[in-house]
Amino acid sequence: MISKKWIVVLFFSFHACALTLISPGLNSHYRLDNVTNIKFEEAAFYGSKHYHHSAFYIESENLKLITRDINNSTFNKEEKLAIKPFDPNRIHIMYEYCFDKEKEINITEDIENHHFQLNDNSYESRISYFYPYSYYKRGSRISKKFPFYMNDDYPYNKVILKTGTDFLMCIRTILVFKKDDQKNNTNEFEILTPRNSHISYSYEYKNQFVLYKNEGMDFSAK
């Protein structure tokens, strides 16, 4: 059963048309502009019904919530997710893509062989981890709905609820770049995949991150 707090958030996002909640710490205002069409090679590799990619700019207040998200899961269950504290002298960007978990993919090797650049500059550090979403089907497509796990309302907030019966698995990668790698203008964030596909995003920075306005709804109340 979906908690009332999700209903309130969704009501706000539909009627105020201000932002869409993606997950704790992420909303559509911090989305980077995708300037690349879906690549056939990538969709075929990850599963054409499941594949989706997006990128986000991360501010200090975002990272705190992202770090505490109960959906975060390391590749090795014995390890703890070690996301470094926010560094105001660095640029933080998240890249996320989703895939068909039933396909035989060495996903850890796949993400390790992704190359990332910000304005032709390589990153200083990166960390990748699993992130599950509940989903809904729209035609032949599978789309993200909610983060798969959530805490119940107070005073039962220690109880973990599921937002669906099955989940769409995604990989999140948080990248840290030098502050000088960013321009006080238009910035280009680029990915080269193991299949030599080029994926590009852009965003504006004018003394601060310029909030994304061309919003497309990732979630649905259906």
Query: Which ranges in the chain belong to alpha helices (H)?
Result: 4-16, 40-46, 60-67, 107-112
Which of 121-125, 171-175, 218-222 shows the lowest per-residue confidence on average (mean pLDDT)? 218-222
Q: Determine the Cα–Cα distance for residues 160 and 153; give it in Å rounded to an integer.
A: 10
Are the C-beta atoms of residues 100 and 47 closer than 8 Å to each other?
yes
CA quadruple 45, 195, 197, 126: dihedral, nearest 10? 90
Q: What are phi and psi of 57, to 5 degrees?
A: -90, 135
Range of the domain at 13: 4-204
Q: Determine the Cα–Cα distance for residues 173 and 121; give it in Å rounded to an integer.
A: 17
Q: What confidence tens digit (pLDDT) does each residue in 86-103 have?
A: 999 999 999 999 999 999
In-domain check, residue 214: no
In-domain check, residue 220: no
* Short-list 10, 147, 178, CA closest to 65: 147
Task: State residue 159's pLDDT score.
Answer: 84
| Whether pTM exceeds 0.75 | yes
Number of domains in the chain: 1
Q: What is the Cα gyration radius of the chain? A: 17
β partners of residue 150:
161
In-domain check, residue 61: yes
Q: Determine the Cα–Cα distance for residues 81 and 102; give it in Å rounded to an integer.
A: 24
In-domain check, residue 209: no
β partners of residue 73:
130
Task: State residue 99's pLDDT score.
Answer: 97
Q: What confidence tens digit (pLDDT) does each residue in 168-195 have?
A: 999 999 999 999 999 999 999 999 999 9
Q: What confidence tens digit (pLDDT) does each residue in 32-82 have?
A: 999 988 789 999 999 999 999 999 999 998 999 999 999 999 998 778 888
Q: Determine the Cα–Cα distance for residues 73 and 94; give it in Å rounded to an integer.
A: 15
- The helices-and-strands tally (H runs, E runs) of the chain is 4, 14
* Short-list 45, 24, 28, CA closest to 199: 45
In-domain check, residue 50: yes
In-domain check, residue 219: no
Q: Determine the Cα–Cα distance for residues 155 and 32; give it in Å rounded to an integer.
A: 36
The amino acid at residue 22 is: I
